[in-house]
Structure 1
Amino acid sequence: MQHQQRLAQARANAAARAQTQARAQAVRARAQQERANAAMARADEAERKRYEREAKAAYVEMRQAEVDELNEDLALEYGEIDGLLALTLDLDDYVDLEGLKVRAMHPPFPRWDLETPRPAPLPTPVPEAPVFIEPPAPTGLFGKKKKFEEAQQRARAEYEQAWGQWAAYRDWIPTQDAQQAQEHATLEEGRIKLLAAERERYDAACAVREAEVAEQNSSIDTLIAGLGYGAVDAVQEYVGIVLANSLYPDAFPVEHEAEFDPATAELTLRVTVPAPDALRTIKGFRYVKASDEVVETQLSKTAANERYASALHQVALRSLHEIFEADRRGLIKAISAQIGPEANDPATGRQKFIPLVAVAAPRDTFMEIDLSGVVPLATLQHLGAAVAKNPSALTAIDTAGVRRS
């Protein structure tokens, strides 16, 4: 599957490079014309005529570059349709079902901020207790004793006041610390509850993802086990995976329906392709200088019919090849396929599936064919297929006479 994706990406890259080159050429031509127009506006009469000629030439080159881009896109589209069979031959169409198993991818837990506890409040420090400081002895000749006693009284009063304030603050600290501790505990309790709720919500979402992955992987295990027993549903589902993995061009989409008969080990396949009128019938684009128009050249009816018929033949062989190659167990012993569009039946005017190719091939016979060197129509004839001579007429083939080689 990864190889198919890489090859498809490589083809897309090549197409993108070709388109980029064509567009770059158109851009260069447009810029050249703009430069010529600007120069002409600045020139005198003699130069003006010369610049006018150059501007006209640049314009023609720009228009031709546009045509080249259209033709490049058309060639890429036709190349993909003409190479429908070759597109798959370098690929291994086997699908490793174990590789389809997946692992649940969980986003990070969004509330990581709740996982860190709040820091506990620090105890309030107790300041140093006030100390009584003896006042200095007074100086002078008279009244020293009285002055000293008064100073002592003032110092004692100030000390006692300071001590009272300090003692009140000291006694208040346990209450304050207890209040802060309670507030911290309340906040922590809220954080823990919210964390638990967010974790539960996150775990529930993870469990849903895990269950979805487990269910998908279990279905793959069931499919693998069913293939081991050749169960009808498992074979049909695996074939559906293989064919869904087959990349067809946007211009030629293909759909498949398959039904497996365990009694005969035969797969009945219906392949729906676009109707003939869904394909473009343009041979190419060209620029008409006289009328300044881009006109289309149409393919001949023969060429358009041949391209459509070739696409049908290639799709028939490609479908058989992809299924047989992907079925490494050899569960499918034969394939009976019908290829055609859903279109209005010319006979009834009603929308219906119109088989234009019908082929039935045993596995052993088909796997002996080297598809890299075949002419698809000749291979279908070799397999005894019924093939519409003019598929564009949408005349259904008779599928009753298809033989198995």
Structure 2
Amino acid sequence: MIKETAKAQRAAERSRNAAIREQERHLRLQRQYERENERAIKQSIREQKAYEKEQKALHIEGRKEETNDYNEEVFYRLNEFNSIISGTLSVDDKISFESLYKKDEYPEFIEPYVKPLPANPVPVRESFFAGIAMEASLMERIIGHGKKARLRSIETAENAYNNALRDFESTENKINDLIKENEIFLSSARVEYDEAKRLYLGEISSQNSSIDDFKTSYFDKEKEAIEAYNTLVLERSNYSDIFPQTFDLFYLEESKELLVEYELPDVTAVPKNKEYKYTQSRDEIKGVPFKSKELNEIYSTLVASIALRTLHELFEADQGDHLDSVVFNGVVSTVDLSTGLDIRPCILTIQTRKDEFMKFDLARVDILACVKGLKAQLSPSVTELTPVKPIVDLVMYDKRFVNERDMLATLDTRTNLLQMDPFDFEHLVCNLFSKIGLESRLTRSSRDGGVDVIAFDPRPVFGGKYVIQAKRYKNTVEVAAVRDLYGTMMNENASKGIVTTSTYGPDARSFAKDKPIELIDGRVLLHMLEEQGIYAKIQL
């Protein structure tokens, strides 16, 4: 029992020791796992930090590149401004009339593809009888042996030949039909080609004839051709997309002077900032704006460069020697924030003679100094679009204007205005406003935009553009006519509208009282005539 007890105790001890060893092994494995897990976490943290550091470096590099892109864009735009003059000096601005002619570049006729015809060899009779004895052999003649077989072979060959001959003739008929179809197809293709080429050559001939007429008219000093030629010159001028390249031309034949009203880019064409800087600590790209003086100088140089380039191109291209001088008015389309209306203030006006201007070396001039030397009027604050008075206002040469007749000299106390011809009455009104000191122009009797007379008051403060409707009415003028006049004023950007007629209804006067419309009735019209020493009457 003692031995068994001792044996059991030793077994229990071994079990406990084994359990302890197993527990210690688990503890060692647990500590090993924890150490490996800790190493993995530390490695992951190191990798995460390295990744974040790399991403941060890439982000910083990207922001620096973005800053460089902004600065390159500013540099490109300012460099573009600086090359406005130099970019035209290397170009011959003369229009080659030869280059306007359209040349015969119509492709040669190429026969369309047709499917090849099938081969159809003629059957050769001898080939069907090859190896067949046509004559009786000696044996056949003596004893008649083999005659039937020979005759059957000849008959078979004859039938085969006849069948082949019929097949040949059938195929030949089909081929002939295909030949006719192909001939019709090719003929039709040729006819279509010839007709298309005829139309093309006719178009070329018509266009080239127009170029001939244009060239002849230009060198014959015809006004419309000279305007069209100079329009082509300016349209060919290669500017970037930020420049509107919109303009109006008017040629004065008597003085050989070209009037140009040119649409200038507004101040937003100039970059807002002169450079961009990146602050890494704040991860911020910040622009350094131009100072007001710097912005004004850059924009002034820009509009002056466009003016000088336009003058250079027009004078250099003047191969017909039609231009003695050019007037350049630079305008900007914008909105008057006080009224919400579209306006086009003139911010630069220049008049120069060809013989004077062509002596300049534009590659070496200071742009602003050159413009000032030409006695140009440049807005004192171009960025604010402060207008200047044009040397010659192109609006005074509206294509709607016609020559007026002197109707004032025909009036006397017996003249009844209500019996005048309506067109004569329009001439009379135009004469009257010219007499009282306005620069008045009579418009054509059709497509005049609802305007009979356009008058200009040149005074700097009180002046402006007036639109005048001359209505020779016997009855009271209703409000609808006055509303139409007001719409015309808005369309013409006029400062005042005037209607001359008999009398006005209360609605018409009520509509006009808070608007820049002056209603002149018959009595006031007679009084205005009397002030000029002219007497007439209005009698029903």
Instruction: Give TM class, smaller chain.
Output: 0.7 to 0.9
Indicate whether 1:216 and 2:216 are aligned.
Answer: no
Asked if the contact 1:82/1:307 (under 8 Å) is kept, the reply is: no
Asked if the contact 2:327/2:392 (under 8 Å) is kept, the reply is: no
Q: Note the C-alpha offset of 1:389.
A: 0.8
- Opposite residue 78 of structure 1, the aligned amino acid is L
Indicate whether 1:134 and 2:146 are aligned.
Answer: no
User: Equivalent of 1:345, from 330, 336, 351?
Assistant: 336
- Opposite residue 102 of structure 2, the aligned amino acid is V
Q: Note the C-alpha offset of 1:222.
A: 2.3
Q: Note the C-alpha offset of 1:54.
A: 7.2
Compared CA separation, residues 48 and 183, structure 1 to 2 (3 A): closer
Asked if the contact 1:77/1:251 (under 8 Å) is kept, the reply is: no
Indicate whether 1:363 and 2:354 are aligned.
Answer: yes
- Opposite residue 210 of structure 1, the aligned amino acid is L
Aligned to 2:79: 79
* Higher Rg: 2
Partner of 2:147, secondary structure, is helix
Partner of 1:356, secondary structure, is strand
Give deviations 1:88-132, integer Å, cap 9, x for gaps.
223222222212333243346464324x98477332111354324
Partner of 1:127, secondary structure, is helix
Q: Note the C-alpha offset of 1:364.
A: 1.1
Give deviations 1:31-60, integer Å, cap 9, x for gaps.
xxxxxxxxxx99898899789767655643
Partner of 1:368, secondary structure, is coil
CA–CA distance in 2 between the matches of 1:226 and 1:401? 26
Indicate whether 1:123 and 2:122 are aligned.
Answer: yes
TM-score (norm 2): 0.58
Gapped regions of structure 1 (runs ≥ 5): 1-40, 138-147
Compared CA separation, residues 52 and 185, structure 1 to 2 (3 A): closer
Aligned residue pairs total 348
Q: Greater CA deviation, 356-365 or 272-281?
A: 272-281
Asked if the contact 1:255/1:272 (under 8 Å) is kept, the reply is: yes
Asked if the contact 2:350/2:391 (under 8 Å) is kept, the reply is: no
User: Percent identity between the aligned chains?
Assistant: 24
Asked if the contact 2:380/2:386 (under 8 Å) is kept, the reply is: no
Q: Note the C-alpha offset of 1:268.
A: 1.1
- Opposite residue 386 of structure 2, the aligned amino acid is T
Compared CA separation, residues 355 and 343, structure 1 to 2 (3 A): same
Partner of 1:268, secondary structure, is strand
1:3-402 to 2 correspondences below 5 Å: 56=56, 59-107=59-107, 109=109, 111-114=111-114, 118=117, 121-127=120-126, 129=129, 130-131=132-133, 132=135, 134=137, 149=143, 152-153=144-145, 155-172=146-163, 174-345=165-336, 348-400=339-391
Asked if the contact 2:112/2:189 (under 8 Å) is kept, the reply is: no
Partner of 2:247, secondary structure, is strand
Asked if the contact 1:81/1:252 (under 8 Å) is kept, the reply is: no
- Opposite residue 83 of structure 1, the aligned amino acid is S
TM-score (norm 1): 0.75
Partner of 2:332, secondary structure, is strand
Q: Greater CA deviation, 57-66 or 182-191?
A: 57-66
Q: Greater CA deviation, 241-250 or 161-170?
A: 161-170
CA–CA distance in 2 between the matches of 1:42 and 1:156? 114
Instruction: Name the Cα RMSD after superposition.
Output: 3.1
CA–CA distance in 2 between the matches of 1:319 and 1:49? 61
Q: Note the C-alpha offset of 1:75.
A: 0.6
Compared CA separation, residues 96 and 394, structure 1 to 2 (3 A): same
Gapped regions of structure 2 (runs ≥ 5): 1-40, 394-540
Compared CA separation, residues 118 and 63, structure 1 to 2 (3 A): same
- Opposite residue 137 of structure 2, the aligned amino acid is E
Partner of 2:278, secondary structure, is strand
Give deviations 1:204-255, integer Å, cap 9, x for gaps.
2333333333333333222222222122222122212211111113334432
Q: Which has the higher helix share?
A: 1
CA–CA distance in 2 between the matches of 1:295 and 1:71? 11
CA–CA distance in 1 between the matches of 2:60 and 2:42? 22
Asked if the contact 1:286/1:294 (under 8 Å) is kept, the reply is: yes
Asked if the contact 1:100/1:220 (under 8 Å) is kept, the reply is: yes
